[in-house]
């Protein structure tokens, strides 16, 4: 009788990490944080309609749609990293950086909409942009598709920085 081969450790880990449950968790965390921030800053978000805005500023209804799509792409990218073939330390470092940038992403609307501190929010957004860029670089090194899925978020953050900077000047 032939001896049964033991599965490789990285195959076992990937099998556990890339499950339907882990996908739902990865897809759910970013929008849940965004929804929590929106609930905490609902009054300030309503006031956005009355703010002086720069050229190219979209109407308020665009933001929840754009952020939902971006959050889902980010979550999917993080799920791909979770199950990637890269060494565990690289994946953990990338996902830790991702978690830190998600925390800063959560704080930004609290400062911008909740506190109305546009310049502080702008500098927080610059920090977020730097963290997101580093996250994108690590994601891209580990899994090209995850990097591509994370890229629209970087572009949106650049646009958000323009809008935030203008809010600081105009309001």
- Which pLDDT tens digit goes with each residue over 119-147? 999 999 999 999 999 999 999 999 999 99
Query: What distance in Å separates the CA atoms of residue 54 and residue 170, rounded to the nearest whole number?
Result: 8
- Which pLDDT tens digit goes with each residue over 12-57? 444 446 788 999 999 999 999 999 999 999 998 888 888 899 999 9
pLDDT reported for residue 76: 98
Query: What distance in Å separates the CA atoms of residue 143 and residue 141, rounded to the nearest whole number?
Result: 6
> Which residues, in sequence order, are CB contacts of 102 under 8 Å at separation 6+?
29, 30, 33, 74
Q: Which CATH number fits domain 21-48+59-170: 1.20.1050.90, 1.20.1260.100, 3.40.50.1820, 1.10.150.120?
A: 1.20.1260.100
For residue 7, pLDDT beyond 60:
no
- Which pLDDT tens digit goes with each residue over 106-117? 999 999 999 999
Q: pTM of the prediction?
A: 0.86
Q: Does residue 152 contact residue 76 with C-beta atoms inside 8 Å?
A: no
pLDDT reported for residue 11: 46
pLDDT reported for residue 50: 87
């Amino acid at each position: 009788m032939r001896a049964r081969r033991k599965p490789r450790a990285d195959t076992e880990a990937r099998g556990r990490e890339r499950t339907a449950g882990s996908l739902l968790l990865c897809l759910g965390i970013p929008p849940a944080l965004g929804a929590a921030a929106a609930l905490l800053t609902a009054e300030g978000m309503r006031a956005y309609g009355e703010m002086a805005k720069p050229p190219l500023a979209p109407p308020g209804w665009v933001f929840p749609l754009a952020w939902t799509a971006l959050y889902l792409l980010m979550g999917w990218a993080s799920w791909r990293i979770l199950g990637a073939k890269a060494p565990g330390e690289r994946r953990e470092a990338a996902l830790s950086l991702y978690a830190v940038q998600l925390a800063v992403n959560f704080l930004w609307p609290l400062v911008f909409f909740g506190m109305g501190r546009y310049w502080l929010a702008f500098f927080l957004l610059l920090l977020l942009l730097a963290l997101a860029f580093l996250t994108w670089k690590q994601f891209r090194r580990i899994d090209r598709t995850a990097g591509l899925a994370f890229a629209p978020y970087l572009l949106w953050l650049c646009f958000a920085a323009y809008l935030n900077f203008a809010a600081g000047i105009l309001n």
